[in-house]
Structure 1
């Protein structure tokens, strides 16, 4: 399988742990501040990004959905509200994030409809052709082996099922690029240090975004793992993209 530059970007460069183990440790550490920092650092725009991504599933009316790298279940809860499927399964490697997600699901009275479980996105514990749709928001960057993770999502999708990926990207417009670099290099890691006491986590965010194979390059990854009808759609001056593929 192809190796990508972001595969080697790790939260803690001095650690001997594998990337996925470091990512789990990092998210366990920032779990209680994660939702707040998402809203704060994106000025709330991340909510509209998620809604736009989920809307792209409306035309297939999925009844069983897998949310990979579900974290604190933001997307899982939004999927339920917007699409009303029969069941949503969320999977994540961070037990700390899942704990917050389960609390939110219980508060919403949805424990029978949204199931969260710990698991590795590159070795999904589900049978082939199990889901009508798979979503992953800001998670593919954290895969230790990108192609393997994407191939696993293809495997568990049913024929004609759809994958929707939401991921950060790098803006192309010159003036905005300068602001973006300052924001990602200076504002984001320092906000992470102040609010979560973990600057490494938000420095990792910047480094993993800068090395991720975005736009056409990620579409090539989707094509290479058998997805059809692939496309990407930039959002908010290109700082985020929706990617889509069909089985």
Structure 2
């Protein structure tokens, strides 16, 4: 199944195309994540899990959970907490449910739109989003929804790919993202457009400092750090 490449960036009507694209690669999504990140994505999720569980939350929401890798990681780290994963791609959620059953982890996975979350105000201690925020069609609205469903004193943890920085490593990573990744992704998944969209969506995404300012404008007390030479960025926002 081949799907046209969605547009990238903020304030763009792209939701339906993003949904179709991820549905088309759902079966190979986990394998591709491992291959294309050389397994480093697991270490990034562990760092994000540490931040998310630091204050022993009892109720956690993982938005854009995909095949539930991060939701399952959170549940392993906090077996007594209620972990809910939300995504708008049913094909991804079906794979996540199979993984949860195979790992004997009780995670609730539900279909829902990140820009109109189907949850009450102030209903979660922690909200997380790993590598899904850049696919939102409206970053400001997404942050407002995160804020809405968080309890006072709650925490938002965002893990995302920032645009590559300047210098030699940034240039090498841009080459890898633009030239190598689409070829590998297209070969394994059968949808080259999906893995052309990935680097373009990263290049169009706000830099870490800019994203921190957006989180601050939404009301969060924010800090961030980059991981693995800036390939990933981990943002933490506390609801004041």
1:78 aligns with 2:81: no
| Pairing partner for 2:229 from 225, 234, 237 | 237
Compared CA separation, residues 139 and 70, structure 1 to 2 (3 A): same
State the Cα distance separating 1:40 from its structure 2 match. 0.1
Q: Is the 8 A contact 1:173 1:237 kept in 2?
A: no
1:52 aligns with 2:47: yes
Deviations 1:51-75 (A, max 9, x none): 0011012321111000000000000
1:199 aligns with 2:202: no
Q: Is the 8 A contact 1:219 1:243 kept in 2?
A: yes
| Pairing partner for 1:42 from 37, 46, 63 | 37
State the Cα distance separating 1:107 from its structure 2 match. 1.2
Equivalent pairs counted in the alignment come to: 232
Partner secondary structure for residue 238 of structure 1:
coil
Paired residue for 1:127?
120
Runs of at least 4 residues off by over 3 Å: none
Instruction: List gaps (5 residues or longer) in structure 1.
Output: 10-17
Paired residue for 2:5?
none
1:1-247 mapped onto 2 (5 Å cutoff): 6-7=9-10, 18-110=13-105, 113-228=106-221, 230-247=222-239
Compared CA separation, residues 227 and 195, structure 1 to 2 (3 A): same
Paired residue for 1:14?
none
Deviations 1:159-208 (A, max 9, x none): 11100000001333511012101100011111111000111111111111
TM-score, L = length of structure 1 = 0.91
Partner Cα distance (2:166, 2:38) in 1: 20
RMSD of aligned Cα (Å): 1.2
TM-score, L = length of structure 2 = 0.94
Instruction: List gaps (5 residues or longer) in structure 2.
Output: 1-7
Partner secondary structure for residue 198 of structure 2:
helix
